[in-house]
Amino acid sequence: MTEQELVARAQKGSEDAFAQLMGAYQNKVYHLALRLTSSPDDAAELTQEAFFKAWQSLSSFQGSSAFSTWLYRLTNNLCIDFLRSKRRRQVISSAQSLDDEELHQREVPDPRLTPQGEVERQELREAVRQAIDLLSPEHRSVLVLREISGLSYTEIAQVLDLEEGTVKSRLARARLALRKILLAHGNLFAPPPSN
């Protein structure tokens, strides 16, 4: 059964079809929520909420975008609302802006993860994971949707309600900011000389 057929059946009330859709997307949705919130517990709750809301609002899905895009947008909005609510209760010690390349004064990655010399693949992944947590919400969203969720620029634009050109430039800035964080914490290796 194709995804479109599953969605159509779920829209008619088939819990079995919806469960299959959940099975196909729960890891991706959870991973998206995890990268956006940096908290496994919050991500689990938000993922559960995202699928619950998806079930309730399936009738509003008209198929003009891919089901995954619609689901990611729902998840992203949930996470954004959650982070807004969380920020209202936190004292933010540094200003957050799209163009601000400075580090956020938040939790610092474990310096013991700094590789000496050649970087092990695992260590770099961990360093990148922690560095993503330090990105601004705007940079983090676009980067996670591209690198983690694998969305195209067009799909990212639909999820975030942006122009594709904005997605392209914001993604470039996000990667640059991520690189800067890694460099500042000594987690980025010097690339081997190219030909």
Q: What residue ranges bind another protein (CB under 8 A)?
A: 15, 19, 22-23, 26-27, 29-31, 34-35, 43-44, 47-49, 51-53, 55-57, 60-62, 64-65, 70, 73-74, 77-78, 81, 84-86, 88-89, 121, 124-125, 127-129, 132, 143, 146-148, 150, 152-153, 168-169, 171-172, 175-176, 178-179, 182, 188-189, 191-192, 194
Q: How far is the CB of 107 from another protein (least distance, A)?
A: 18
Nearer residue to another protein within complex by CB, 84 or 106: 84
Nearer residue to another protein within complex by CB, 6 or 34: 34
Q: How many residues does the chain have?
A: 195
Q: How far is the CB of 160 from another protein (least distance, A)?
A: 11
Contact present, 133 and 38 (Cβ < 8 Å): yes
83 sits in which H/E element: helix 67-89
Nearer residue to another protein within complex by CB, 52 or 97: 52
CA distance 119 to 181: 16
CA distance 54 to 24: 14
Contact present, 75 and 32 (Cβ < 8 Å): yes
CA distance 83 to 96: 13
| Residue in 68, 42, 92, 88 with CA at minimum distance from that of residue 145 | 68
Q: How far is the CB of 97 from another protein (least distance, A)?
A: 17
Nearer residue to another protein within complex by CB, 104 or 180: 180
